[in-house]
Structure 1
Amino acid sequence: MVCALGAAVCFGTASVLQAVGTRAVEPGSGSGVDTALLLRAVRQWRYLAGLGLDAAGFVLQIVALRHIPIYAVGAALAASLAVTAVVAARMLRMRLSAAEWSAVGVVCAGLAMLGLSAGPEGTGQESFALGLGLLLTAGGVLAVGALCGGLPDRPRALVLGLAAGTGFGVVEVAVRLIDGFSLSELRNPALYALLLGGGAAFLLLTSALQRGSVTAATAGMVLGETVGPAVVGVVWLGDRTREGLAGPAVLGFVVAVAGALALARFGELPSTPAPGRDPAAGTVP
């Protein structure tokens, strides 16, 4: 659980840096799968710093997924929005309302309940069919991104965010289906699902951050990366809670995700800086 929370800190801080870096470049083509936009964004040092934090967070996420259920890791990763809110409040001098500070507290309370009630990872058997299903889902995520470029900004952002969250959810489940780094894993469809799902999700999220309502995109992403993977973990992979603590675990999951959704506006932080603040320069004139 400590690793899952560490991943949330990395991802939440990276979101601030990447959102500023993405909006500092020229607009993209409008497609949900816009590699040119990504290539322009990586020229920004803030975006690159965010990528470094993402890499560290991914390593911590893998460790967490190897030891605790997917639903606990997913809720912790959704809580990265609470980290984003606190970091934005300090780095960009954004003001958090009393309700938003309360939402941060709600997220922490939900994670505390999850941490106390979550059992070890499930002992469900690895399934070739499940890995193949993940690969098809990852391909579907990429197709949705390619087809949604022509939508109006608001529904476009929501669909791209939900698809990106689904891609990240594919990564969460795929990690559980990959057994080490042996050559035999090259025949495992989960490995390719992880690569395709993660890459597609990253492209879609970059496009969602660049145009449209990023609040809607962030809310969609939170739902996509938490609910589906949690169901797969419980139904197919045998994730369970500690004896007699199923109720607190469900409540903690719902509370943590609801608190994260209440903080979804912090995906939009570069467009709403405090007066006199230049988010691109990072200094007060």
Structure 2
Amino acid sequence: MVYTGVLTKMQTEFLDPIQYYLVFENDFIHMNQLINKTIEMKFVGHQCLSCGLNKPIYRQGFCKSCFFDKPVAGDWIMRPELSTAHLNKEDRDLEYEKKVQLQPHIVYLANSSNVKVGVTRKSQVPTRWIDQGAHEAIEIVEVPNRYLAGITEVALKDHVADKTNWRKMLRNDNADEDLIEWRQRLKPYIPNEVKDYFIDNNTETHLNFPVEHYPEKPKSLNIEKQMTYSGTLAGIKGQYLIFQDNTVFNVRGNEGLVVELNI
């Protein structure tokens, strides 16, 4: 069976184990069903997720002009503390920014390669944790806008990591942590204007990924450079496809690429 389409991050279902779906314009693939099967992948071209043109992808699935112009790629996406919609101040498109920024946001702790702090919209829990390959996570603050979540993350990342080591995550080289204890340890560093939003009565969420074989030395596949690849799927974690030869492919990191999959 041959499928051709534009890569976007895999859609997921929070089940045991996590269920993954690769969605194309006119079709979708239930990726869990492909574990232990051979997948042939071929690079075909580009399609910007915003303008839809066949232009080189710059970042986050966007061509360079869209990345620096469209509101969906504003700096506040990656740096929530730069959000200004709560001040009625526009960055690129105030209507869009109010829609996204002025809704409940969560500051959380997740353990994938290590304990890290992160921010996501409340509606994206637990999807955000799945995408990061976290095997356990917990909410620590729920605030009414993105700015408050952002300044909390900035304050806490002086005391806990804010990045995931993707190689360590894919090797499954991590230890269980007491995230409730971590939450209490970090509580004193939460900004004063956020302290009333602290959550102290919830428990950890645990996630189980469909992986039969973890790579000892993950090798990242650059399909745009290599053009073609064939391998047997050994599992899926985060947004990575893991193959039996230790090759790993970051689907989200290759958004906007047009590929052909022969299964």
* Fold match by TM threshold 0.5: no
> Per residue, is there more strand in 1 or in 2?
2
Highest Rg: 1 or 2? 2
TM-score under structure 2 length normalisation: 0.28
> Per residue, is there more helix in 1 or in 2?
1
